[in-house]
Structure 1
Amino acid sequence: MSTYLLLDTSTSRTSVVIVKNGEVVFSEYSDGALSHGETLPKLVVAALKVASQIDEVIVGMGPGPFTGLRVGISFAQSFAFARGIKWQGVCSLDAIASQFSDKDFLVAVDARRKEVFYARYTDGVRIGEPNVCQPSQLDALQIPIYGEALNQFPDPSAFVDIANSNKTYSAPIYVRRPDAYPAPVGVKFRPMTQLDLVPAFAIEKAAYGKDGWSMAQLKEEYAGSDRMYVAAEFGGELISYAGVFNLAGVADVLTLTVADGHRRKGIGRELLRRLIDWSRTQKCEAIMLEVRVGNEEAIPLYTSFGFIEISRRKDYYGPGKTAIVMRKELK
């Protein structure tokens, strides 16, 4: 049997636990969102007085606010290196979920900026990777939500079982992408015009084939009221376009298409940002979109902006082609 030093600084609570031969022999915590750096060493010193011979360190890798998270991870790595022992990282949300047995539930912790980090669990098993959104988006799912708002925090004593049965992490689970992205070099963003319809149709056909809009549909969607289209061009050539529609106070993304050869360059991100900004100027309460199941380029982009899945539409893109319906609250 081994002795484990278990640490978590992913929330406003700093927790230190020692498990020896399967038994918890030390468990202490201190609350304070800004005191991780001061508190953690003191708790570890107290823990080592109970059991000084440590065989392995396991640390909560988040998600959590950057500063607090780094305190725990850096300490765990340094401690393990100095002693020549192994260290592992686990998802901190899993250590909250381990305390509950509901069929379907969410775990959420404070992400600052009026947002929460969360994960969904079915029969105690996490579904996918943690994400970030506004609390109201989780409330809309109408399933139990556990976590920091209810004074429920990661229990590091569960880290050993989590490390043995779940995915471990070698890097922090930050979830949020950087706030600032470099503008796509040489790309001009401007309002879309009727002159763009022909090249837009060519991009549409190349991207979606027979599942794309017809020229008549493209013209009809473009000409409608209460909507905005934006185009991106490179070297005087249209390479991308996107549109959004205000339907009774809820914005709906009509299209967001980037030509092949220009993807993964930040163009789609900039277009989506402009659609969201326009929706806010229209005082929309939320913005929604559909994305095909399995679209591994688009789904991470949308989730990074705070969109969450609210439903699925079977055969939306044709027989056997299901759409994920996603929504982002704007108020």
Structure 2
Amino acid sequence: MKILAIDTSGLVGAVAVSDGDILLSQFSIQYKTTHSEILMPMLDDIREKVHLDLKSIDAIAVAMGPGSFTGLRIGSATAKGLALALDKPIIPIPTVDGIAYNLYGVEKIICPMMDARRGQVYTGLYTFVPCKGEGESREQTFEMQVINEQMATSVEDIAEKINAIGKPVVLLGDGVPVYRDKLDKLIKVPYSLAPFHQNRQNAAALAALAVQYAQEGRMIDGDDFAPEYLRLSQAEREASEKGTNAVPTDKIAKAPKNPGIIRVSEMTAEDVSDAAALEALCLGKEAWSEKQLLEALSLDDTIYLVAKKAGRVVGLCGVRNVSGDGEVTNVSVSGDCRREGVGYKMVKQLLERGRGIGIENYTLEVRAGNAAAIRLYEKLGFVSEGVRPGFYDEPKEDAVIYWKRN
């Protein structure tokens, strides 16, 4: 898979191209230039040097945020423009995850820090866990484990989280030199600093992580991509503090009504209790029980995904393969997270991952009066092919049968 990776989330401007397990090219600059000045020339230079036909790119990976508001907008606009022009998917990579991936294989706690100003950092906590080898091979591989998802928080708060884990930590990112004296006083466990060739945004690391995301089906259309800022811009904060409309509303980035990162992953046994509670809240008597979800989870011909926000299960969807046809059995989204794209993100990944267990076509049923769900399914390419009269109870309602055929 050939991936073009772009990261303009911080002081570093970085572009890389990978093809399978080969890094074809990377270009990184951290100097007194703006991303708007250097990004396109960097892309053009790489394209020329490696004779890259952009049409041969399979996907575009981009640092989705947090980071510099201006930098994120430049990188996002470039990635989105290329994705739409080339009809290629985007692989959004959380910025802090991408920085952590610089330290692949490190089993200590990894804490990237980007300076977010006002005594705050964009940060998270990670580590790499050894994977069980196959057969008699002694090759060692690792999986990145997210301990605390990326967040905007105070230096004191992240230091407290590090101390609570009680294990040695590696610090990296442009926030470390800014708050080094404070960190030295606050951190009570042994810590080290990543060397300069590993301690900033790196498009090559972004591309490597994107390969893993692609294998998991974590890709979206260019139309659906938007950066995630984690907090308001300086203009928005100043306007809020003044209590005025000093900044024109058309110049202010729209923040989600309930901001936060939505993470979609395979459901585990630990998620089942919360997933069942969400089902019951959304579907009432039609909801699956914990026992039913656990049984479904144990089958080889099923995939169940959950969407999480700040560690809370806010979405659930599942599919079962029946002779090549995928029966979508559960789709639930928490009421406070609707209209945030949770359902779309989940079901799209479900359809993509379903191919991995041999699903060719998909079918589902939905209440005839559930306009929001119908809009979602039709957006994903489902087509109505029939009706089951009076299928649902309490209240009595028809079921519309939808199919997505390949």
Relative to the length of structure 2, the TM-score reads 0.41
Q: By percentage of residues, which structure has more helix?
A: 2
